Amino acid sequence: MLTASPSLRPEAPLRIALYPGSFDPLTRGHVTIVQRGRRIFDEVVVAVARNVSKKSLFTIDERVEMARDVFAHDSGIRVETFDGLLVDYARSIGATALLRGLRAVADFEYENQMASMNHMLAPDIETVFLMADANTFFVSSRLVKEVASLGGDVSTVVPAAVHDRLIARLAKQKGES
């Protein structure tokens, strides 16, 4: 007679989500999306885009280093870089979901287009959206850089490891100009 034995059940595959972006620099908005994503997925891979067309404040290596510092405490969060087609990279790491954050209506149109295009390219990969937190829905990397460069205090909206580097980088830039 066959009896159900939990030990004979095959291991469930890891659920891996890919969270792509520029992260120039990582903000607390990004951090909350990753942490909330981790409640749903076994592993979240934060993928910093090697997007040469975007002018960035931090190099790709610096952005990766900052993010690795911030997420070092959780072995279920990896920080990598990618270039080329997002869905190809997702497949190469075994991700079955793309994780994205939605702040406002303004994000919706672009995110909807991207999700639809990625669905056309890879119907087996789902885009999962998390609504931005009430505390960070107004935070963007662009605005953080702008406010900090004008001397505004952004310490509550970026991780401490990012804040120190941001202030140092902006001071260096100011000295050079």
Please count the helices (runs of H) and the strands (runs of E) in the chain: 6, 5
**Quick one: 48 exposed, middle or buried, by C-beta within 10 A (0-12, 13-18, 19+)?**
buried
Residue 167 CB partners (closer than 8 Å, separation 6+) = 148
User: 54 catalytic, yes or no?
Assistant: yes
Residue 30 touching ligand ADP (CB under 6 A): yes
User: 141 catalytic, yes or no?
Assistant: yes
Nearest residue (CB) to ligand ADP, 96 versus 101: 101
User: 116 catalytic, yes or no?
Assistant: no
Identify the active-site residue in 22, 28, 30, 165: 30
Residue 163 touching ligand ADP (CB under 6 A): no
**Residue 47 belongs to what H/E stretch?**
strand 43-49
Stretch that binds ligand ADP, among 38-46, 58-66, 132-140, 143-151 (CB under 6 A): 132-140
Residue 139 CB partners (closer than 8 Å, separation 6+) = 27, 28, 29, 157
In the stretch 32-51, what mask flags binding to ligand ADP with x, by CB under 6 A?
Answer: -x------------------
Identify the active-site residue in 9, 39, 54, 55: 54
Residue 29 touching ligand ADP (CB under 6 A): yes
Separation between Cα atoms, residue 66 and residue 30, nearest integer Å: 13
Stretch that binds ligand ADP, among 21-29, 36-44, 59-67, 159-167 (CB under 6 A): 21-29
**Residue 78 belongs to what H/E stretch?**
strand 77-82
Q: Using CB under 6 A, list all residues that contact ligand ADP.
A: 21-23, 27, 29-30, 33, 100-101, 103, 107, 132, 136-137, 139-141
